[in-house]
Amino acid sequence: MRIYNIADLYVSLECAERTMKRAEKYYLTDSDINPDISIKTTPEEIADIYRPDWTEEVKAYVYEGKLFYSELARRFNGMMIHSSAVVLDGNAYLFSAPSGTGKSTHTRLWLQKFENRAYILNDDKPAVRIMPDGIFVYGTPWSGKDDVSINKKAPLKGICFLNRDKTNWIKTMDTESKVVNLYHSAIKKVDKEVALKQLDIIENIIKKIPIYEMGCNISEESVEVSYNKMFYG
């Protein structure tokens, strides 16, 4: 049995090629360790997914990620937040936005500005877990089309939801908007148990982590605006 270390959990994977290839950086050992999560899919399961705009490879990859994040929420106090996770000086900042808005472009501007002080932890679907010593963000094999992810973790410092605008501004979200935006950034079409678990996790996150909304024009100035607010408050 091949065991992987994903989000501080032992995970066994018997999945499609794309998932297995991306999981290699998380590979731990061939061993008899009892896995925390086991994910095994079949071509028949994948064939039942009706997404005519997706290849079989993409369907398998997305479905296998959904299985992992469902179990993460169900049993391990964690969830996916659709976002680009950048780490600066050891702390993680999540930037979330609808596809095509520019979240990855924004975090890459952070890399340009802060150079070796910063890196991308996961560019699409980082895992977030509430642990006894804090809330942590993890890289995972489910990392968008370009597979920008590393097998590390960092404490979560802040979350920002981006919208395109002509000028750059940032403000703290109201509570209702925090809940709505975080829920929409989690995995969809899950069973009732997972949905309720995700809501519990969201409630914990908004109590402990600053959450912002930002209008930005994807410029160097936008980095200054987001950094100053999220770092200094």
| pLDDT score, position 134 | 97
pLDDT tens readout for residues 79-132: 999 999 999 999 999 999 887 778 899 999 999 999 999 999 999 999 999 999
Q: Assign residue 125 the CATH number of its domain.
A: 3.40.50
d(CA 84, CA 18): 20
Q: Could you tell me the residue range of the domain that residue 31 belongs to?
A: 2-76
The two three-digit tokens of residue 123, written as one number: 């560019």
- Which among 61, 76, 91 is the end of a domain? 76
Q: Same domain, yes or no, for 70 and 84?
A: no
Residue 121: the pLDDT is 97
pTM confidence score: 0.94
Q: For residue 1, what pLDDT is reported?
A: 77
**pLDDT of 103:** 87
CB 174 within 8 A of CB 161: no
Asked whether residue 99 falls in the same domain as residue 63, the answer is no
* Tokens of residue 85, six digits: 């996770």
pLDDT of residue 133: 96
Q: Choose one of 10, 44, 76: the last residue of a domain.
A: 76
Residue whose tokens read 């095994």 = 40
* 95 lies in the same domain as 158: yes
In this structure, are 72 and 117 located in the same domain? Answer: no
Domain shared by 15 and 129, yes or no: no
Low-confidence residues in the chain, pLDDT < 70: none
Domain check: are 116 and 65 in the same one?
no
Residue 180 sits in the same domain as residue 204: yes
Structural domain count, the chain: 2
Residues 126 and 192 in one domain: yes
Cα 92 to Cα 29: distance, rounded to the nearest angstrom = 28
